[in-house]
Amino acid sequence: MIKKILVSQPKPTSEKSPYFDIANKFGVELIFRPFIKVEPISSKDFRAQKVSILDYTAVVFTSRHAIDHFFNMAKELRVTIPEDMKYFCVTETIALYIQKYVQYRKRKVFFGETGRVEDLVPTMVKHKTEKYLVPMSDVHNDKLSLLLDSKKLQHKECIMYKTVSNDFTPEEVKSFDYDMLIFFSPAGIESLCKNFPNFKQGEIAIATFGPTTAKAAKEAGLRLDIEAPSEKYPSMTGALQHYLLETQD
């Protein structure tokens, strides 16, 4: 019986999140506690990549973390971002977040409709003369780079932030009594193994989102009870609701 679920993500800011609907519908307690956190790299480490921000005419943002660390790094390096810099974002939500740092102008901010990077690329192709800079985490894959190569776009990926374990306090370790754990990245699985080296899964259900997370969990010897996305359940909340419907008395 699932009563208490740890979701390894920050708590949703919107009360309309499907997670809250699930908590009410099934009477389960949801605890939002990230296993990983994002930290900036030093300006020295950034300079070592031999990347000059002002050599580029456009920036590609895949997350709000990327926006924060790009503008903070520019400030630390005392680089003034030109007014005509263009920004390409995978979602409108990420695009709107740019307002935190610069005046939002539709003629220089572009975004995809679906959240899939593949659906942003056609817009970038329309601006094929731009030189694209892509700020990334140290934990990433080559999917975007290969896509841009295939379209013969000028681009450069650079590391601007790193993903590290968000260590548990001794008190948190003592009170670790969850019936289900939900993970969204291989780094989250690594953090579980680091914080709980003697972790025994037993009856604890484990859910993963994305094939690389599922692979990391299996390699760590964990049993997977939910793997999302699937054709039938593209979201974690959809997969979770289906699992609870099937298993709860």
Is the pLDDT at 143 greater than 90? The verdict is no
Indicate the pLDDT class of residue 246, thresholds 50, 70 and 90. Answer: very high
Q: What is the overall mean pLDDT for the chain?
A: 93
Question: Which single residue is written with the structure tokens 């003369």?
Answer: 129
pLDDT of residue 153: 96
Encoded amino acid at 227, one letter:
E
Find the mean pLDDT for residues 73-77: 97
Indicate the pLDDT class of residue 115, thresholds 50, 70 and 90. Answer: confident
Best CATH choice for the domain 53-161 from the list 3.40.50.10090, 1.10.3720.10, 3.50.50.60, 3.30.499.10 = 3.40.50.10090
pLDDT tens for 206-219 read 999 989 899 999 99
pLDDT of residue 142: 87
pLDDT of residue 116: 79
Residue 87 contacts residue 58 (beta carbons within 8 Å): yes
Indicate the pLDDT class of residue 82, thresholds 50, 70 and 90. Answer: very high
pLDDT tens for 157-194 read 999 999 888 999 999 999 999 999 999 999 999 999 99
Residue of 95, 75, 99 whose CA lies nearest to 87: 95
Find the mean pLDDT for residues 122-129: 95
pLDDT of residue 70: 97
Q: What one-character-per-residue DSSP string does 103-115 give?
A: ---TTTEEE-SSS
pLDDT of residue 103: 85
Is the pLDDT at 245 greater than 90? The verdict is yes
pLDDT of residue 249: 67
Residue 112 contacts residue 136 (beta carbons within 8 Å): no
More confident site: 141 or 20: 20
pLDDT of residue 114: 77
Find the mean pLDDT for residues 52-68: 95
Cβ neighbours of residue 61 under 8 Å, at least 6 residues apart? 67, 70, 87, 88, 89, 90, 94, 95, 98, 135
pLDDT tens for 88-101 read 999 888 999 999 99
